[in-house]
């Protein structure tokens, strides 16, 4: 069973530049925890603080309740997988994987057994005696993964491990990582800027921006109920429309471009009648209806047929462009410059406060 990691109010400074200010979070035992955010958001910095490459200016990091701030990296018993693999170019696959066991002075027979077992688990036995230069990027990344987990670390840390691989390999390797992580049940902290990867692989995601965790949640919640405008636009695509909310006898009503609709249940605290809001609608949450039906009047400007679905680019009355994804069926593609009416899948959309940019959707909705 894995260990827990408690990050308590940590701060990272480079000179006068504060990269992370008072960040706290708890990572559960055996969890696959992802730090997701744009470059420069502090996610790699935080990861490197956990393993000890970066110093911690303030705050504490505890592993299973034990303070690790002062422990040097080589005594922390954490495995790390690097963006550029960092496979030792002068050692064979076997020597690479055995390196961490050698530093731990594991007996020769025991070491051989562990290395073989690991190579089998990661499926690179046949490359055992090859040099890294004879391996593809994906194979090198497997070696790096094997090398990091053969030492049975308490924590596995991965810094954008897939970003140097091509798209197809990325999907394959992400499944390998997920499978192995499940199998050995190790607490894993994973850093990526690729939201699709994060959604696919994680138990929980912490979305970071400017050194601050914006939201920590399951992939599904992050996508469907983003806690603020940043998360909504960073994860997936969102069309943002200006609108307002209005008190009504049974529930709150919302309006955008004159189209009135019923949003999901709202947090009522402090909400005023006529409050300006930002309506966040994902492309698949729009429905195209005939002109004249209720909805936002719009004109189809162009369309792209992608097989599984059909993308429309429409212009709203104020000139704003929105993207709509429709299922492709056998009916005709709507010709360019056709006026239509845009409706929404009302229970799926999200509303944000215009000033605070925080979600107005009630918890659990």
Partner 1 sequence: MLKNSNRRGSFWMFLTLLILALFLVFVVYPLIMVLYKSVIDPKGGGLTFENFTRFFTRKYYTNTMINSFKVTLVATTISAVLGLLMAYITRSVRIAGSKTLNILIVVSYLSPPFIGAYAWIQLLGRNGLITKVVNALLPGTDFGGIYGFAGIVLVFSLQSFPLIYMYVAGALQNLDNSLNEAAESLGAGNPRRVMSIIVPLVLPTVLASSLLVFMRVFSDFGTPMLIGEGYRTFPVVLYNQFMGEVTNDDFFSAALCVIMMLITLVFFFVQRRVSRRHTYSMTALKPMEPKRVSRKVSILSHGFVYLVTALALLPQLMVISTSFLKESTPGMFTSTLTLDNYLNTIVAKNNKVIANTYIYGIAAIILVVVIGVLISYLAERKRSPVTSTLDTLTMLPYIIPGSVIGIAFLYALSRPPLMLSGTATIIIIALAVRRMPYTIRSSTAIIGQISPSIEEAAISLGASELRSFRQVTLPMMLPGILAGAIMSWITVISELSSSIILYRANTQTLTVSIYVEVIRNNFGNAAAYSTVLTVTSVLSLILFFKLTGRKDISV
At 47, list the tokens. 């990861």
At 203, list the tokens. 């138990």
Q: Which is nearer to partner 1, 86 or 287 (CB)?
A: 86
Q: Which is nearer to partner 1, 75 or 108 (CB)?
A: 75
Minimum distance between the CB of residue 144 and partner 1, rounded to whole angstroms?
Answer: 8
Q: Which is nearer to partner 1, 40 or 89 (CB)?
A: 89
Minimum distance between the CB of residue 67 and partner 1, rounded to whole angstroms?
Answer: 19
Q: Which is nearer to partner 1, 119 or 296 (CB)?
A: 119
Q: Which is nearer to partner 1, 20 or 149 (CB)?
A: 149
Minimum distance between the CB of residue 202 and partner 1, rounded to whole angstroms?
Answer: 22
Binding site for partner 1 (CB under 8 A): 51, 53, 73-80, 82-84, 86, 88-90, 99-100, 103-104, 133, 144, 147-148, 151, 157
Q: Which is nearer to partner 1, 87 or 208 (CB)?
A: 87
Distance, CA of 201 to CA of 220 (rounded, Å): 12
* CA nearest neighbour of 219 among 241, 242, 236: 236
Q: Which is nearer to partner 1, 80 or 278 (CB)?
A: 80
> How would you classify residue 58: left for phi > 0, otherwise alpha for psi between -120 and 50, otherwise beta?
beta
How many CA atoms within 13 Å lie on the side-chain side of 51? 23
Q: How far is CA 122 from CA 64, 82, 128, 177, 257, in A?
A: 28, 17, 12, 9, 55
Q: Which is nearer to partner 1, 99 or 257 (CB)?
A: 99
Minimum distance between the CB of residue 134 and partner 1, rounded to whole angstroms?
Answer: 12
Distance, CA of 206 to CA of 195 (rounded, Å): 11
Q: Which is nearer to partner 1, 73 or 136 (CB)?
A: 73
Cβ–Cβ < 8 Å for 223, 235: yes
Q: Which is nearer to partner 1, 55 or 251 (CB)?
A: 55
Cβ–Cβ < 8 Å for 58, 11: yes
Distance, CA of 182 to CA of 122 (rounded, Å): 13
Minimum distance between the CB of residue 248 and partner 1, rounded to whole angstroms?
Answer: 57
Minimum distance between the CB of residue 141 and partner 1, rounded to whole angstroms?
Answer: 13
Minimum distance between the CB of residue 278 and partner 1, rounded to whole angstroms?
Answer: 38
Helix 108-122 / helix 93-103 crossing angle, nearest 10 deg: 130
* Strands ordered across the beta sheet of 58-63: 17-27, 5-14, 58-63, 66-67
Minimum distance between the CB of residue 102 and partner 1, rounded to whole angstroms?
Answer: 8
Distance, CA of 182 to CA of 160 (rounded, Å): 19
How many CA atoms within 13 Å lie on the side-chain side of 169? 13
DSSP letters for 240-309: EEEEEEE--SSS-EEEETTEEE-PSPB--TT--TTEEEEEEE-GGGEEEEETTSSSEEEEEEEEEE-SSE
Residue keyed to tokens 């990861």? 47
Minimum distance between the CB of residue 106 and partner 1, rounded to whole angstroms?
Answer: 11
Minimum distance between the CB of residue 101 and partner 1, rounded to whole angstroms?
Answer: 9
* Sign of the four-CA dihedral 122, 128, 132, 135: negative
């Amino acid at each position: 069973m894995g260990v827990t990691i408690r990050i308590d109010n940590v701060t990272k400074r480079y000179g006068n530049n504060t990269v992370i200010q008072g960040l706290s979070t708890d990572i559960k035992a055996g969890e696959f925890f992802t730090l997701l955010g744009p470059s420069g958001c502090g996610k790699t910095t935080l990861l490197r603080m956990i393993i000890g490459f970066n110093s911690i200016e303030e705050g504490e990091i505890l592993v299973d309740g034990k303070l690790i701030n002062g422990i040097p990296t080589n005594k922390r018993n954490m495995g790390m997988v690097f963006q550029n693999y960092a496979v030792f170019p002068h050692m064979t696959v076997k020597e690479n994987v055995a390196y961490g066991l050698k530093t731990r002075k594991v007996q020769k027979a025991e070491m051989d057994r562990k290395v073989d077992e690991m190579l089998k688990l990661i499926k690179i036995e046949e490359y055992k005696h090859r040099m890294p230069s004879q391996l593809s990027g994906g194979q090198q990344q497997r070696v790096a993964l094997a090398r990091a987990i053969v030492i049975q670390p308490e924590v596995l840390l991965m810094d954008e491990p897939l970003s140097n691989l091509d798209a197809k390999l990325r999907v394959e390797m992400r499944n390998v990582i997920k499978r192995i992580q499940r199998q050995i049940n190790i607490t894993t902290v994973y850093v990526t800027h690729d939201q699709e990867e994060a959604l696919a692989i994680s138990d929980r995601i912490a979305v970071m921006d400017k050194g601050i965790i914006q939201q920590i949640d399951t992939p599904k919640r992050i996508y469907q109920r983003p806690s603020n405008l940043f998360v909504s636009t960073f994860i997936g695509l969102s069309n943002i429309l200006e609108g307002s909310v209005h008190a009504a006898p049974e529930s709150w009503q919302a309006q955008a471009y004159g189209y009135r609709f019923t949003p999901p249940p709202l947090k009522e605290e402090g909400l005023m009648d006529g409050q300006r809001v930002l309506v966040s609608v994902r492309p698949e949450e729009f429905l195209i209806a005939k002109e004249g039906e209720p909805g936002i009047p719009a004109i189809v400007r162009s369309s792209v047929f992608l097989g599984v679905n059909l993308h429309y680019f429409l212009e709203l009355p104020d000139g704003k462009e929105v993207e709509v994804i429709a299922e492709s069926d056998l009916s005709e593609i709507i010709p360019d410059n056709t006026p239509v009416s845009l409706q929404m899948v009302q229970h799926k959309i999200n509303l944000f406060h215009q000033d605070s940019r925080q979600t107005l959707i009630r918890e659990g909705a």
